[in-house]
Amino acid sequence: MTAGIVGYGIYVPKLRIKVSEIERVWQKSSGGIGVNEKAVASIDEDACTLAVEAARRGIEDFSIDPKRINAIYVGSESHPYAVNPTSSIVGDALGTTNKYYAVDMEFACKAGTAGMQVCYALKKARMIDIGLAIGSDTAQSKPNDALEFTAASGAAAFFIGDKKDEVIAEIESTCSYTSDMPDFWRRPKAEFPEHTGRFTAEAYFKHVIGAAKMILEETGYRADEFDYAVFHQPNGKFPLKAASILGIETKKVEQGLITPLIGNTYSGSTMIGLASILDIAKPKQKILAVSYGSGAGSDAFIINTTDNISDRRAKVPVLEMIKEKEYIDYALYLRHRRKIKSL
Amino acid sequence: MQQPLLLFIGDLRGDSMHNIAPLNWRKFPERYLLKGNYCEVCKQAFFPPRPICPNCRRKGKLIQMEMPRQGKILSYTKVHVPPEGFKNEAPYYLAVIELENKAKVLSQIVDSEQEKIKIGAKVKKVFRQIGEPDKYGTITYGYKFKVIQ
Ligand SMILES: [Zn+2]
């Protein structure tokens, strides 16, 4: 059996702030970004607690024994510590053994999918039983910055294995398209990331389209052969434009387009979209997934669902789970995200 | 010879907090996974783990056991005047929870609407930050509970 996804879990915090509320405070328009509201981690949540909750759901819904997890990679640009791994906290919180490879990853919004690639490679090298790749972020944004309209919190955990009766979706192929293109960054002691405005769009399309074309060329598939596609979604528009450039119909992208509903969850973004597709995909369907991380790079995957997906599903689909929410105003948002100076 | 070094570190309060890290670490199994214990003689589960079975004393046989992640609220209170370190989270709910194996846990209730927090409400364990002493010390993680129906 080819290595692939044996389970997944998603966690989106309950709090939401409407983009219109942020517009009200700063008296300016978000400028048609296709995002209605964003998920906000509460004051006692961080990228680590989000990661644990996402992985816990995967363990429960897909009956995965934590003792079988031999690799944990947590991708985030908001790891709670600068030094001290999130991945080891996640392992202990899930009740793994001590025998697991672990490291925290950072590559803006694509560190989670990079973790999937590593787990996939370790699985193919037969070095692990099950690998756990997590993308988790409580994305930071400066008050009154354009990022504030979209920077959200959420996490996705993917379990990679190769047991015939467990794999719900095989990873047929993966590749990365990488170059030095600094469109978004945060220096060590800076509290919030900086970005280059429109240059970000140029970087996004160069890498997302670059990686998609690369994987199509390597495997010989045509873009129209896929049943679903999911792209990194910094806003509600870019993924649709990427699909149209590649010649993929809009309806194939909609199921995985979650950012309009919860904002950009950074490292969680592409992975939550992929989970939403797996929530409804039928056996033997083909999915194209392409992440994007500023700086910059894209990881592309060709993923084929198996017969197992008919009876191995998340108990609560992404689109259902995110309906559990509680709206907060801008003042409470500042309190929860500790943006009030004294917090 | 510790003193001059501390002056360079500059934050004496932070340093005293670092001494808590090893003590905290010994409680990770309890805080992360609700690991308590269970007496094989009287068949009772205990949380936090007991050094000796209160029912059987020397005749008891305690084994480590992960507690169930679900239970129900036995009693609760709303905390308006929190202890040091929890000021920014107040007001919050604290509840005595009876887990599915009858063991009892005192925990904060999060992500639950006020009207759902009541005696008998079903709750589920979640993983949260419990606190951070300051910007320099370790972050404490552990269990909190949320109402699921
Ligand atoms: Zn006993």
- ipTM of this complex: 0.95
Query: Which residues, in sequence order, are CB contacts of B1 under 8 Å at separation 6+?
Result: none
Cα nearest neighbour of A53 on chain B:
B127
pLDDT number for residue B6? 35
pLDDT number for residue B71? 98
Residue-wise pLDDT for B43-62, tens only, equals: 999 999 999 999 999 999 99
Give the distance (Å) from ligand 1 centre to CA of residue B99. 18
pLDDT number for residue B13? 47
Query: What one-letter code names the amino acid at A213?
Result: K
Contact B141 A45 (CB under 8 A): no
| pTM of the shown model | 0.95
Fold of the CATH domain A4-167+311-337: Peroxisomal Thiolase; Chain A, domain 1 (3.40.47)
Q: How confident is the model at residue B15 (pLDDT cuts 50, 70, 90)?
A: low
Residue-wise pLDDT for A322-333, tens only, equals: 999 999 999 999
Nearest to A267 by CA among A139, A112, A103: A112
Mean confidence (pLDDT) of chain A: 97
Contact B128 A93 (CB under 8 A): no
Residues of B with CB under 8 A from a CB of A: 28, 32-33, 66, 88-89, 110-111, 113, 126-130, 138-139, 141, 144
Nearest to A116 by CA among A153, A79, A87, A159: A159
Instruction: State yes or no: pLDDT of B1 exceeds 80.
Output: no
Instruction: State yes or no: pLDDT of A261 exceeds 50.
Output: yes
Tokens of A200: 């970000």
Query: Which one of the listed residues A79, A195, A232, A336 is annotated catalytic?
Result: A232
Tokens of A330: 């801008």
**Which residue spans of chain A are classified as CATH 3.40.47.10?**
4-167+311-337, 169-309
Contact A93 B129 (CB under 8 A): no
| Protein residues within 5 Å, CB atom, of ion ligand 1 | B 39, 41-42, 53, 55-56, 60
Residue-wise pLDDT for A73-106, tens only, equals: 999 999 999 999 999 999 999 999 999 999 999 9
Query: Is residue A45 among the annotated active site residues?
Result: no
Under a CB-based contact definition with an 8 Å cutoff, are residues B113 and B2 in contact? no
pLDDT number for residue B16? 58
Q: How confident is the model at residue A343 (pLDDT cuts 50, 70, 90)?
A: low
CA distance B133 to A67: 32
Contact A92 B28 (CB under 8 A): yes
pLDDT number for residue B84? 83
Instruction: State yes or no: pLDDT of B133 exceeds 80.
Output: no
Nearest to A97 by CA among A125, A132, A126: A132
Contact list, A98 vs chain B (CB under 8 Å): none
Give the distance (Å) from ligand 1 centre to CA of residue B45. 9
Give the DSSP H/E element, type plus range, for residue A20: helix A19-26
Rounded mean pLDDT, A182-191: 93
Query: Which one of the listed residues A48, A109, A148, A166 is annotated catalytic?
Result: A109
Cα-atom radius of gyration of chain A, to the nearest Å?
18
> What 3-state class would DSSP assign to A295?
strand
pLDDT number for residue A75? 98
Domain A169-309 in this protein, CATH class: alpha beta
Contact A95 B66 (CB under 8 A): yes
Handedness of CA A314, A89, A269, A212 (dihedral sign): negative
Instruction: State yes or no: pLDDT of B11 exceeds 50.
Output: no
pLDDT number for residue B8? 35
Residue-wise pLDDT for A226-255, tens only, equals: 999 999 999 999 999 999 999 999 999 999
Query: Which residues, in sequence order, are CB contacts of B22 under 8 Å at separation 6+?
Result: none
Q: How confident is the model at residue B10 (pLDDT cuts 50, 70, 90)?
A: very low
Rounded mean pLDDT, B105-120: 96
Nearest to A73 by CA among A115, A113, A109: A115
Q: Would strands A184-185 and A295-305 be described as parallel, antiparallel, or unpaired?
A: unpaired
Cα nearest neighbour of A46 on chain B:
B129
Contact list, B32 vs chain A (CB under 8 Å): 92-93, 95
Instruction: State yes or no: pLDDT of B121 exceeds 90.
Output: yes
Closest Cα in chain B, distance from residue A49 (Å): 5
Mean confidence (pLDDT) of chain B: 88
Instruction: State yes or no: pLDDT of B130 exceeds 80.
Output: yes
pLDDT number for residue B17? 60
Contact A46 B139 (CB under 8 A): yes
Instruction: State yes or no: pLDDT of B125 exceeds 90.
Output: yes
Query: Is residue A119 among the annotated active site residues?
Result: no
